[in-house]
């Protein structure tokens, strides 16, 4: 495997696919799935976790249902078997897309967001993001503010997801470039808990016109390859073998 792989998954399922996806989940995933009130939210959760299992199973040479996933010390999901700890992964889902990142020996975070109306995007940025990010976003033409806001959001979110920190690392402690500038970490002030030092590779990903997405790898100039699962991917959940890909 190259340094990192990112997989784009279309979550629009065909009849019968939801049952195929549900069949490979473990008990904890099924309990979480059952808590969703809206069938669409439940389906997105079930499909994205089944796709994650398919991709991890291919990398590990096991069946999707046999992949053992645990929750790490800060809530970031990881492989349960310490011997497999060198393979790191991260999952994101929004709208009709899931994004799955895999990396060996290095932290990876991914984030996808459906671009949607956000009339108070600048106010939210002012409340949570770093001052240099806010001033770059404020220069965006009005018609581009939402798209750039979500692009910026995915860049920051991918970094905190690589770290595993969630919101315990205040989001104004670091800044990233704002689209359309090339993605990179500009400034970082880590602390004793969260080490932002050292090189990072950020990459924007093509998830279709209605979504924006970023992968972040805590390594210098990591080679990140981007693939897309073919639409019949749920047919492969009961088998061991090559992951069905379109690119």
Ligand X SMILES: CC(C)(COP(=O)(O)OP(=O)(O)OC[C@H]1O[C@@H](n2cnc3c(N)ncnc32)[C@H](O)[C@@H]1OP(=O)(O)O)[C@@H](O)C(=O)NCCC(=O)NCCS
d(CA 46, CA 24): 9
Q: Looking up tokens 């078997």, which residue turns up?
A: 81
85 binds ligand X (CB under 6 A): no
Which residue lies nearer to ligand X by CB, 15 or 73? 73
**Interface with ligand X (CB under 6 A), residue from 20, 53, 148, 156:** 156
CB 3 within 8 A of CB 218: no
Q: What is the CA radius of gyration of the chain?
A: 18
Q: Does 45 bind ligand X (CB under 6 A)?
A: yes
Does 2 bind ligand X (CB under 6 A)? Our answer is no
Q: Does 164 bind ligand X (CB under 6 A)?
A: yes
Do the beta carbons of residue 48 and residue 98 sit within 8 Å? yes
196-225 binders of ligand X (CB under 6 A): none
Stretch that binds ligand X, among 143-151, 165-173, 180-188, 207-215 (CB under 6 A): 165-173
Omega within 30 of 0 (cis) for the link into 180? yes
Should residue 166 be labelled a site residue for ligand X when binding is judged by CB under 6 A?
A: yes
Residue range at the interface with ligand X (CB under 6 A); choices 151-159, 176-184, 206-214, 219-227: 151-159
Q: Which is nearer to ligand X, 178 or 240 (CB)?
A: 178
With binding defined as CB under 6 A, does residue 174 bind ligand X? no
Q: What DSSP assignment string belongs to 103-157?
A: EESS-EEEEEEE----TTHHHHHHHHS-HHHHHHHHTS-GGGHHHHHHHHHHHHH
Closer to ligand X by Cβ: residue 92 or 243: 92
The distance between the two most distant Cα atoms of the chain, rounded to a whole number of Å, is 51
Residues at the interface with ligand X (CB under 6 A): 45, 74-77, 90-93, 111, 153, 156-157, 161, 164, 166-167, 171
């Amino acid at each position: 495997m190259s340094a990192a792989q990112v997989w784009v998954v279309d979550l629009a399922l065909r009849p019968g696919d939801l049952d195929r996806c549900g069949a490979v989940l473990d008990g904890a995933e099924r309990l979480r799935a059952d808590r969703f009130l809206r069938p669409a939210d439940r389906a997105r959760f079930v499909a994205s976790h089944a796709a994650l299992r398919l991709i991890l199973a291919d990398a590990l040479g096991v069946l999707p249902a046999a992949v053992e996933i645990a929750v790490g010390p800060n809530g970031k999901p990881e492989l349960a078997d310490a011997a497999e700890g060198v393979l790191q992964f991260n999952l994101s889902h929004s709208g009709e897309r899931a994004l799955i990142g895999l990396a060996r020996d290095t932290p990876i975070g991914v984030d996808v967001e459906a671009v949607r109306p956000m009339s108070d995007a600048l106010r939210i940025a002012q409340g949570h993001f770093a001052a240099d990010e806010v001033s770059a976003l404020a220069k965006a033409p009005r018609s581009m503010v939402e798209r750039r806001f979500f692009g910026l959001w995915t860049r920051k979110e991918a970094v905190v997801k690589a770290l595993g920190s969630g919101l315990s690392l205040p989001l104004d402690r670091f800044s990233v470039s704002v689209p359309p500038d090339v993605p990179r970490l500009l400034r970082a002030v880590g602390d004793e808990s969260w080490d932002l030092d050292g090189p990072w590779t950020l990459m924007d990903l093509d998830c279709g016109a209605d979504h924006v997405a970023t992968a972040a790898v805590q390594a210098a100039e990591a080679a990140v390859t981007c693939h897309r699962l073919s639409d019949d991917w749920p047919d492969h959940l009961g088998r061991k073998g090559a992951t069905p890909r379109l690119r």
